[in-house]
Amino acid sequence: MPTVESPEGTVTATVSLSGADQTLAVALADRTVVEPSTLGLTAPFDPPTEDVDLPTVEDFERSDRTVSETFATTYGKRREHSHEATESVFVCDFSNGETVELTVRASAEGVAYRYRLPETGSVLLFEDQTEFRFPDRTTTWLTPWAENHEATSRRAPLFTAEGRYCTPGLFQVADDAWALVTEAGVDGSYHAASLRSRDQTAAVEFEHPWTPVRAKGAFETPWRVAVVGDLATVVESDLVPALVDGPRFDPEWVDPGRVAWSWWSESDSPYDPDRQRDYVDYAAERGWEYVLVDEGWSPDWLPELVEYAADRGVELFVWAHWTDLHGADERREKLARWAEWGVAGVKIDFMDSDEQGRLQFYDELLADAAERELLVNFHGSVVPSGLKRRWPHVMTYEGVMGAEHLKWATLTPEHNVTLPFTRNAVGAMDYTPVTFSADSRHTSDAHELALSVVYESGLQHFADSVDAYATRPDAEWFLERVPAAWDETVFLRGHPGSEATIARERDGEWFVGCITAGGARTVETTLSVLDGDREATLIRDPSGADEADDDGLVRETVTVGPETPLSVDVPENGGFALYCP
């Protein structure tokens, strides 16, 4: 059977194409991570007739190439990327006369594949009938499906995890063998997928909204992706954006940043221009780049607030419901007006759908916003699939049960500590972190502060009120320094639902965030990324006989390095944040 091997030889995809059953399997070194798994498309008919499988593959031709490229993004786990892979294209001729191309790419980070129909005419295509099948004893972390992708993941044996789930799905095959299943390059040419697991099977299938895909001319599906390796590979991987084309424009004007946001703590405040000035003043004092004026702002006073902010070196985002921008003429008129006012970007809310028509709205909105040099934040959204490479101004997506839920519910610390290995591993996540004043939280103050490092987003919305932050000088000090875009990301230690300790670097300065769930413990790690010992500032929860600072945190100077362990006692559901200049 044909194999596609990564350039380093660590990851291998084995493809079976002859006959009626086409499959793909993935091995990590000598270990099978993905068992032979079904490939296939629902047959394209014009006009469409019935939902049937493609017939037998009678013959195929294969061509190979080596992919070696570097590319830049405006934010992410890093801003400069390199991608090395082996790519094979199998041109399959089916017994019904159809021709389908299967592209398989293998890199040190995993395997991805997609289908291409060279000439479809104008057809309705229902779905690709693909799956990832795992060894029987595989454990999963899966998030129950919701239209807005806002739910908490569940850890369970895959054999018992019957249901429909959001992408991505995390699968542990062995102690050091993991797979993160997701998709890349999802746009308005297709649907976004969910994952379907059936009882007493060790597989997940890609499932789509019930409406068919409308395709015309040459047609490609999104990439089906399995990031495979250890947990460091999962957390650090950039395979998803590496599979996407781009950029569509010169992103010189695109700037990530930190955002002051009043809605979480004071939901009526977006109606009040005077209160918004308070947030502008606070952002200016802290050196934060943006303020988000959420639902309730008025065109009667917004232009004046934009000028007020600009005089203080702060730019504004404004909120909009997606239906207000659905019509092309109305959308372009409003975006042009907001850009003329000097608004930096828009938060688009409540799309709440994975179907093709809604994804076409994303495409159209991004094109129109780019033309007017407006940044974009999607809420009530799909899960990101690497389009930040194509559209550098799409700064973040929600698609997560984030801190806004603390206004009316409880989020478990285990949920927080699973996200770095699942949802945030595939793209920017607008969780809106650092909510000290949430009455319903079960996390420590240092845990909350560390989220500013552990969670990655091109726009980092600090959700608490300016008054709450003003009472915590240690937190203010740290949030003045932590950036929203990184040059490097390194996973130090952890496990889904228990601990995530992540180091990120920007312009030679390193930041470490650690969050835990469960009982008190000592977290010990070294910073092997450093070239020697350095003095760093540690902010943690008080421990033992410690005397906390006025804000309940402890700030102290420590020495860290590649051979100098950092040892921190953390309380139940605790954490710490470290700044190493």
Catalytically active residues, by annotation: 349, 404
Distance CA 119, CA 216 (A): 8
Q: Which amino acid is at 100?
A: V
**How many Cα atoms sit within 13 Å of 417 on the Cβ side?**
24
Q: Are 90 and 102 in contact (CB under 8 A)?
A: yes
Going by C-alpha positions, the residue among 431, 537, 413 that lies closest to residue 474 is 537
Going by C-alpha positions, the residue among 477, 214, 256, 485 that lies closest to residue 355 is 214
Distance CA 489, CA 502 (A): 7
CB atoms within 10 A of CB 308: 17
**Three state DSSP letters for 162-229:** CEEEEEEEEEEEECCEEEEEEEECCCCCCCCCEEEECCCCCEEEEECCCCCEEEECCEECCEEEEEEE
Q: Which amino acid is at 355?
A: E
Q: What backbone phi and psi angles, to 5 degrees, belong to 30?
A: -100, 10
H or E element, residue 276: helix 273-286
Going by C-alpha positions, the residue among 306, 389, 394 that lies closest to residue 348 is 394
Structure tokens at 327: 């019509």
H or E element, residue 348: strand 345-349
Distance CA 291, CA 280 (A): 6
62 burial (CB, 10 Å; 0-12 / 13-18 / 19+) is middle
Give, to the nearest 10 degrees, the angle between helix 273-286 and helix 302-311.
20
Which residues in 176-213 are b (16+ Cβ under 10 Å) and which e? ebbbbbbbbbbbebbbbbbbbbeeebbbbbbbbbeebb
Residues in the chain, overall count: 581
Distance CA 232, CA 235 (A): 5
Which residues are registered as beta bridge partners of 207? 194
C-alpha 198, offset from chain centre: 26
* 47 contacts: CB under 8 Å, gap ≥ 6: none
